[in-house]
Structure 1
Amino acid sequence: MSFASLRFGALGLNILGICLLAYALSGPRPPGRRWVNLGPVESESPLRIGHQVQLLVDNEVLCDFQHVRRVMGPVRKHPQNPVLQADQPWERNATVMGGLQPATAMYDDSDGLYKLWYTILQPQTFGGSGVAYATSRDGVHWSKPNLGLIEFAGEKGTNLCRLEPFGALVRGLRLVQDPRPRPSERRYLGIGVWPKHEDGTWFGGWLGVARSSDGTTWRHMGGGVREGSGGGFPACLWDESLQRYVLFHRQLTEIALPEQRKRYIVRQDSVDLQSWSPRRTVFNPLNPVWPEVESMNVFRHEGVFFGLANTLETRERGEMEIHLVISRDGYRWEEPFPDRAFIPRGPQGDFDDMLVYWAQPILRGDRMHFYYGGARYSHGYPHEPVVDDGTSLALLPHQKGRYDPRPNRIGLATLLRDRFAGLRADEPVGAFLTRPLLVEGDMLYVNAAVDRELRVEIVNPVGEVFDAGPKDDWAGHYISAREEVFPGFSRADCEAVTGDGLNLPVRWKAGSIGKFKGRDVRLRFLGRMATVYAFVIK
């Protein structure tokens, strides 16, 4: 044996002796306990939700659910649909060649008006299309004000918008969703605006940027980005967390089979609406029935990105309808109801029985308003296109140019606030449990439709790990865990929530959830014949 081996062997014995001495001096240990850690255990860090409404459109705030199913909120079409259609002299050719499409919409608190910009599809007069402006006090009955900006047949008494410095009709316009205060000359920001070439023709296929102080006279700002394959409708909004604009529109040329046209959604970012990041694919559904996304309007509500995807069926009838897609970051999107339309096509004979598309959302009071385009003709030219001769539907053999469609018109659909989707519990009972939440409010409110009853209990997010002792079917001790429902806040202590309301209060015998302000809790919802769409602590 070498000297080095003897030296390190002696060193090892010394270290072992020191360890044994330290163990002996540490005092007696309960047999079997040194290998496990018993006591309270936290499962995960709490979510800081503040006073923000928690929408149950996905599982972001949930950790478990049993005997519940996700259901779509009921979207209602207005009985007076269509609420806007071609009825002015400068819109007359649109009754044959295309009609009116919603371009963008908003509610303006400063003057108490619903405002709708719409596109007149009129190739014979405008060489393609033009943007007009309408206002309403109630969101149903619309007026087309005399702006005096664009001449038609020798008269300037039209509601057509003007684009400077070209002194021409605005073509292509979508409002940029940016709630930040801005100088008056940039009160409205628009994207998708076509600029003009020096020879007087348009730069088609370019998403230009424009600004306006009144929403009717616009000034081109330069910059922009190439629009997606075949055009479509872009959607642009300011992301406060990223401090940049995000743009959603169609892909450029990237298609798996170049000989077959395909549409899906990409994203680009910008800090100034002038220079844009490279395109990134964000939504391309693998849906055999609705395989393409013609366009997708995007808005953000209560921390969630919502996409109103114009999904297109391309194999048989060329139908289009709006599907709901959601995202938490604007990159990863999911479709909670891939086989069901959020805004469906109407029954045969209605103005929207073939195409429903490009819904413009406005939240006003307790309702979300969606102004959408509807038509009775096929999108594209499938083998047996469904066309409309103005009185009835008929199937014609494939022959391009045989369309005589009823024009595109604008309809209204509404949804009760925050009821995009909910969790439905049937009999005998269904339940879901939230992730740990930091309580920063005084009262818990639920947005729910309850036929029987709904109860909530408050659970300690810190579980208890303990030694359950020997078990008959287990050779030795078994380590188990248990939860604690806070005394006075169990399901038995909760006053039953009943009825249908957007802000139903939840109370317990021991008081309100405000007793836990500054602490972490889990909420367990238990329902019978009840649908919960959202909850908030405020």
Structure 2
Amino acid sequence: MRLSLPLCVILLIAGCLWGNSGAQGEDWRSVIRHDGVSDPGEAGWQLSSQRVQTGAGQETINGKAWTYWKLADRGGEDGLYEFPLSAQQVSGGWRITVVARLVDTNAQGTGFGAVLVDGQYYWRLNFNKDGIFYDGYSGQPTRFGAPLDTTDDYHRYELLIQPVASCDLGAADRVTLKVDGKVHARLVRRDFRRIRTARSIGFGSTNSNATGEVRYHLVEFATTVAADKDSSSAVPGNPRRSTATSTIPPSVTRQAPGRPWHIGSSKQLFIDRRFVAESERIKLTVNPPVKRRGAVLESDKPWDAFRLIYFSLAKDGDVFKMWYQAFDDDQWGGGVSRMCYAVSQDGLRWEKPNLGLVEYKGSKENNILLAEPSKLSYVFIDPHGTPPQRYKMLTGIGTTRIRTSPDGVHWTLHPQVVWKPTWDTQKQAWWDPRVKKYVIQTRVQLERENELPFPFVEPIASDPPVIAPKLHRPIRALGRLEVADIMKPWPTENVRTIMTADEYDPPGSDIYHPGGVYQYPYASDAYFMFPLTYQHFQAGEGHPHNDGVNDAQFSASRDGIHWMRYDRQPFIPRGLPGDPDHGDTFGTGFFVRQGNYLYQYYTGWPWTHGGFRLLGPAERQSRKNWGRQFVGVVVHRLDGFVSADAPQQGGYLMTPPLVFKGHCLELNLNVSALGGALVEIRDATGKVIPGYALADCDRILMNDVAHVVRWRGNPDVSRLAGQPIRLKIALRSAKLYAFQFVDD
């Protein structure tokens, strides 16, 4: 008889080698899942006892309808829905997600339900009638987190265990519990290694001394997928995922086994391993842009002389338009800011037109669009807006309202408050055709409760050792919200946290601002973000409160929700002393294409986040003590954000099965003078198709964004269109950015 719960989820793990690769550079793969009213038996779960009561149902709780599968223990019996697991399925790390409501129970102590990791030594996460979670170790429950009401509503419980191979505790596991998307508790413990003797996951009743009922809306077990035999996921440049960014589910990054990717004639990028089913000596590398010297826009007018920040950009016809927040010499922070306007014909040379709209020190000869309240405004062109409301502006710091305009110059403020949280950074919005909704990206504030970034922690002297919860302060993170109508109030409860600082970041780190999201228009399923990372100076380092350094990193996503942070190196690095961006850099999601290159806008300044507090009141009043803030550009190769790289000794990658449309294959690649590239086409089983072998391929020695592949001089692949094929691409001293099947 097991101690614990009717409502439980059990993970039984056979003895595994547990390294430190854990959740780094790997995707989560769903192994088994139960949804709502479906019978778990139809999905492969086996019920261990028929004495418990089960069945489908639906109910409305707090105004929301829920479907569920009931499991009730009315007579002190136990019964589980179990599913067998292999050692390979849990060789990297694991995650259990449960959405459920505890209806009633008489259980105390070890409780009536939740998550059970059960082997020779089991671990469980369960709640009793008082709604308190416990960490059970070999029958000795201990407190884990704060009390929760588990009966008032359906809640989402996510339990994540990641291996840690190097720390003060020796080999250990990091255990994170999230409740409704927020970290409820986090521990680092050694004893979890002992549970790897079991072989199944299950949910149900395991406490024969308790009665109760639980209604399950979702139960899912997911595991990390082991890396390629080339171990390239362990090298710099491959995606390393933040626990806060969650992970990319199979539907986003991986195709169901046996099913090919239908790519049509769309360009495909190597931002992850979606198109790398097999490889040897291939690593994914982030390619930072090159700074273009000189500014495209400077703070050179009296009304924007102190700083310009938080800008938006759009192209309307042949005209580029920019909106930016400006401060003059007399202002800082809480002072008046003004929304200004600039235009350009090529996106690189900008003018500040005299608009004659707002008076500044007795004159309207300026490019000021709006005075207060225009703080933190963001402008975008709405493809579904009516002509008078083509342009939309999110504006305000205490509350957010919408302004609309037919031309981006003359604006109407709508009185409806759409958002109330008071974060002091710019929110961003756009229409996402993939989800057919407006997406708002915003800051969210989280509590670091019972959480410390590992390994900057101190073990408590106990057996087993645990980590002391010492840090309690708000942290900045990134959230995403989708709405069907941006003009109506946005549902705050639907905000989804998509990125936070985590244990791979140093203490005192925040994800300060998204920096801009770029839904890449030149390839399929590619979103780029340039999060502004912020590391606070620590006490005793001689800096004022809330001071620190920022720079822009690079993230990529297939869906705009699940983000990869890669090697976390600066993507737009800060400049050297004397440079105008020596203190901070701030990337954006605004790009201009010029032929084979992309120009990305960014801004920088020579002071740190709170460095102005070191100056006296008189010194703060003059920008001469700060330097001049500017808008500049960095230059990217087309598609060049991430590449699949091979060294001088050569390597190859093999794609999964693909179904394409088109007549020829184009590659965006850069081959060195002592390198080369060849392409082979195989059928879905891996057999080489005659005429398309590596030996038939004309050697590629070029640096090109659209090189047409030929086999004995012939580029035609149209006879293979519409059927599953695989590409083998052999590379030497080369970088491969993208591939695309196109018509002649």
**Residues 280-299 of structure 1: pairs in structure 2 closer than 5 A:** 280-286=496-502, 287-289=504-506, 291-296=509-514, 297-299=516-518
Alpha-carbon offset, residue 147 of structure 1: 0.8
1:51 to 242, 265, 275: 265
Distance 1:386 1:90, change over 3 A: closer
Structure 2: distance between partners of 1:531 and 1:324: 19
CA–CA distance in structure 1, aligned partners of residues 447 and 560 of structure 2: 20
Q: TM-score, normalised by structure 1?
A: 0.76
Q: What is the CA–CA distance in structure 2 between the aligned matches of 1:371 and 1:293, rounded to whole Å?
A: 20
Aligned to 1:210: 403
Matched residue, 1:472: none
Matched residue, 2:336: 128
Structure 1 position 106, deviation (Å): 2.3
Aligned partners of 2:285 and 2:642 also within 8 Å = yes
Q: Deviations over 1:152-193 (max 9, x none)?
A: 122111111138xxxx66333212364x354321221222x1
The CA distance in 2 between the partners of 1:367 and 1:107, in whole Å, is: 17
| Stretch moving more, 485-494 or 405-414 | 405-414
Query: How many correspondences in the alignment?
Result: 441
1:241 to 2:471 alignment = no
Aligned to 1:343: 572
Instruction: Tell me, yes or no, if structure 1 residue 116 matches structure 2 residue 322.
Output: yes
Residue 456 of structure 1 is aligned with which of 679, 683, 686? 679
Name the amino acid aligned to 2:600: F
My pick for the range that moved more, 451-460 or 361-370, is 361-370
Contact 1:91 1:120 in 2 (8 A): yes
Distance 2:288 2:722 in 1: 36
Equivalent position SS for 1:484: coil
Q: Equivalences for 1:25-44 in 2 at 5 Å? A: 44=258
Map 1:263-282 → 2, pairs under 5 A: 263-273=476-486, 274-277=488-491, 278=493, 279-282=495-498
- Name 1:310's counterpart in structure 2: 532
Matched, 1:157 2:351: no
Q: Which amino acid aligns with 2:510?
A: E
After TM superposition, give the deviation of residue 337 of structure 1 in Å.
2.4
Quote the residue 2:690 is aligned against.
487
Q: 1:205 to 1:403 in 2, by over 3 A?
A: farther
Larger Rg: 1
2: CA distance between counterparts of 1:227 and 1:418?
36
User: 1:363 & 1:177 partners in 2: Cα distance?
Assistant: 16
**Counterpart amino acid of residue 532 in structure 2:** N
Shift, 1:523, TM fit: 0.8
- Structure number with the bigger relative contact order (C-alpha 8 A, sep ≥ 6) is 1
Cα distance in structure 2, aligned partners of 1:356 and 1:185: 36
Gaps of 5+ in 1: 1-41, 195-203, 391-398, 464-482
Q: Distance in 2 between matches of 1:241 and 1:409?
A: 34
Q: In the alignment, which of 503, 523, 533 is matched to residue 737 of structure 2? A: 533
Letter in 2 for 1:411: G
> Which of 584, 590, 593 is residue 361 of structure 1 equivalent to?
590
CA drift of 1:457 comes to 0.6
Aligned partner of 1:186 among 349, 374, 389: 389
Q: 1:55, 1:227 → 2: CA distance?
A: 37
Contact 1:318–1:385 (Cα < 8 Å) also in 2:
no
Q: Which amino acid aligns with 1:232?
A: T
- Give, in angstroms, the shift of residue 253 of structure 1: 5.3
2:627 to 398, 406, 409: 406
How far apart are 1:224 and its partner, in Å?
2.0
Matched-pair contact (CA < 8 Å) for 1:131–1:169: no
SS at match of 1:492: helix
Q: CA offsets, 1:473-519, max 9 Å, x none?
A: xxxxxxxxxx3110110111111122211111111136422221111
Question: Residues 377 and 386 of structure 1 are in contact (CA less than 8 Å); yes or no, is this contact kept in structure 2?
Answer: no
- Alignment partners' CA distance in 1, 2:510 and 2:693: 48
Name the counterpart of 2:645: 424
Amino acid at match of 2:339: V
Measured on the aligned residues, the alpha-carbon RMSD in Å equals 2.9
Q: Report the equivalent of 2:606.
A: 376
**Percent pairwise identity:** 25
Query: Structure 2: any 5+ residue segments left out of the alignment?
Result: 1-255, 451-470, 539-546
User: Hey, what does 2:721 align to over in structure 1?
Assistant: 517
Question: Which position in structure 2 is the counterpart of 1:22?
Answer: none
Query: Do the aligned residues in 1 keep the contact of 2:310 with 2:376 (CA within 8 Å)?
Result: no
Q: Once structures 1 and 2 are overlaid, which stretch shifts more, 47-56 or 313-322?
A: 313-322
What is the CA distance between 1:76 and its match in structure 2? 1.4
Select 2:549's aligned residue among 319, 332, 341.
Answer: 319
